[in-house]
Amino acid sequence: MSRGAGIRALARVTLLVAATSIACEDTSGPNNVDMHGLSKYDPPLVYLEWWKDIEECSGVEGDFSRVEWFLADSLVVEGDFALGLWVSPHDIYLIRTVTSTSWVVKHEMLHDLLKMKGRAHDSTLFDECASRDRL
Ligand SMILES: [Zn+2]
């Protein structure tokens, strides 16, 4: 698929690893992302609510409708399974089992609002605004 090839070419990647820890990567190589079973996703209404939550919490506003959503059977980034992935400029990938997991979805939304890639998650907003939903 050309879409997948384009994504690999872009390969600006963040990821979530495992259910209890988050590890995001900033990769640039063409072979670092492996996605299976991709399909476009029409986000449920609750996502708009979560988007507003994350905007309010972060103080950063963005256009929800600019985000393109995709589901995948699996996301593998640099050899690690990921739950979610944000790809610049506004693509969010989720594995099918986490579409109702607010902290994962909000985490990726926050990447979009902050346009922030990379392992460091330099902003404390990831903890303050997304991870708190895990409690
Ligand atoms: Zn992240």
Q: Separation of 1 CA from ligand 1 center, angstroms? A: 26
| Residue 56 dihedral angles phi and psi, to the nearest 5° | -65, -45
The confidence score (pLDDT) of residue 90 equals 94
The more confident residue out of 92 and 118 is 92
Q: Separation of 108 CA from ligand 1 center, angstroms? A: 6
Q: Separation of 55 CA from ligand 1 center, angstroms? A: 16
The confidence score (pLDDT) of residue 120 equals 52
Could you read off the pLDDT of 94-126 as tens digits, one per residue?
999 999 999 999 999 999 999 876 555 778 999
Q: How many CB atoms lie within 10 A of CB 14?
A: 26
Residue 85 parent element (H or E): strand 84-87
The confidence score (pLDDT) of residue 48 equals 98
Q: Separation of 121 CA from ligand 1 center, angstroms? A: 6
Q: Separation of 84 CA from ligand 1 center, angstroms? A: 8
Question: Checking DSSP bridges between strand 91-95 and strand 68-72, what pairing results, if any?
Answer: parallel
Report how far residue 64's alpha carbon sits from residue 79's, in angstroms, rounded to the nearest whole number: 30
- pLDDT band at residue 3 using 50, 70 and 90 as cut-offs: low
Q: Separation of 50 CA from ligand 1 center, angstroms? A: 16
Q: Separation of 61 CA from ligand 1 center, angstroms? A: 18
Could you read off the pLDDT of 15-69 as tens digits, one per residue?
443 333 344 544 444 357 889 999 999 999 999 999 999 999 999 999 999 999 9
Could you read off the pLDDT of 70-88 as tens digits, one per residue?
999 999 988 889 999 998 8
Residues 6+ apart with CB under 8 A from 135: none
Q: Separation of 74 CA from ligand 1 center, angstroms? A: 17
Q: Separation of 60 CA from ligand 1 center, angstroms? A: 16
Q: Separation of 45 CA from ligand 1 center, angstroms? A: 23
Tokens linked to 29: 């190589």
- pLDDT band at residue 131 using 50, 70 and 90 as cut-offs: confident
pTM over 0.85: no
Residues 6+ apart with CB under 8 A from 75: 15, 33, 34, 35, 81, 82, 83, 84, 85, 93, 95
